[in-house]
Structure 1
Amino acid sequence: MTKSKSKSKSKPKSPSSSNEVAQTAEETFDLPYKAPHNYLGILTKPTTVDTFNSILDTISASKYKTLLIADAPIYQETQREFWRNVTLEKQDGVIKAINSSIKGKTIQITPQSISEVFKLNDQKGKISFSKDELKNDFLNRGYAEQPKKDTLQKGCFPSAPRFLFHTLLMRASNKTTSFNEIPFKIQCLGYAILNNKDYNYSQEIFNDMVKNVDNKAFFCSFQDF
């Protein structure tokens, strides 16, 4: 289950250190959240049915749980400022970091920093799984059709895995529409969670941000920065 937030309405105060700049920005202004990237994952078991209990236990035991329940708000104004100031840092032709600043505070984002913020410890994980590996697993879990394309349909899964992929689409992807379609990277993340595999999703988040540097449409926000 996911829950959306609407707007920050905190009272202003002066920052005592540079680490509080982002927090002060939130408290000084009535900042609207950037929808739909502010859903919160709710993993509380329902009291009336137990249909989702097993999948909730699986998610809660997963190393990726922190990614799904992290309260890392994204605000429209700070998002725009981040992308206005963004540059890519390369080493031997390979993009190693995204650098920017918000209200004078320097921000550097790398796959490693993403992994550390969300406590994923996934840097040594696989960067992908084979399509056959995913297909066989999902068919065994009740996927209703023979997969023909890279993108699967959430509605073809039974209730429990459908809940998992709904949560991943709302909390761990950069999608803003077509939430019934499960792209390959989200399939890999779901497969990793279901089978307790190690998947380098920090790199995927970083790659998504790099791809969006030109259109400045997506910003994965970290409270620790």
Structure 2
Amino acid sequence: MYQKECFVFQQDKPILAKVRNYGEEDFEALIAVQQESFPPPFPSDLWWKTEQLMSHINHYPKGAFCVEVNGEIVGSMTALLTDFDPHRPEHNWEEVTADGSISSHNPDGKTLYIVDICVKPSFRQLDLGKLLMQSAYELVVQDKLDRVLGGGRIPGYHRHSDKLSPEQYTQKVVEGELRDPVVTFLLRCGRMPVCLVPNYLEDKESHNYALLMEWKNPFWQD
């Protein structure tokens, strides 16, 4: 089981945070985090359900993370193992995650695929999302996997879709001309763009697009 404690900072004040694997006793709190993190117009039917969370810890408990502050669960991240062909990168969230159940988890897979990451809005200034992502990197290094991979929503795109294509928008975000709530965060975490994927997820703000982004294991590359 994974567990670590470290200090995060609210301005200059250190605050103790704990990242650990989540279990069945955490499900109610995890669902509450989802509801607060993904308000409408994000589809409520995509919030985690108890059956999905149970499937997560049954199929790949090592990939089920949560973060606590003062004993309160305020964020989570779920991952699975899969195979990834860089020459055929396009896919959608539903097929790679088995509609969020992660029954598609492949114990022999060499790519750690991020199914979901979320932090309550009132705690986002503490960089807890980055702390969760670091935990994924540590798992990749420990288990000698190839990479972290996942599709980043582009929720800021709907504000620019009348003037920019999805390709133009993501390019401007990567170049620093625009800021996107998800893609900019992932860039700050060290993730690198792979390609833009259409019809990745039902997501009005992103026009159903996602930017596939990876972090390669610096110690274990072919």
TMscore range, shorter length: under 0.3
Q: TM-score scaled by structure 2?
A: 0.22
Higher relative contact order (CA closer than 8 Å, sequence separation 6+)? 1
Q: TM-score scaled by structure 1?
A: 0.22
Structure with greater strand percent = 2
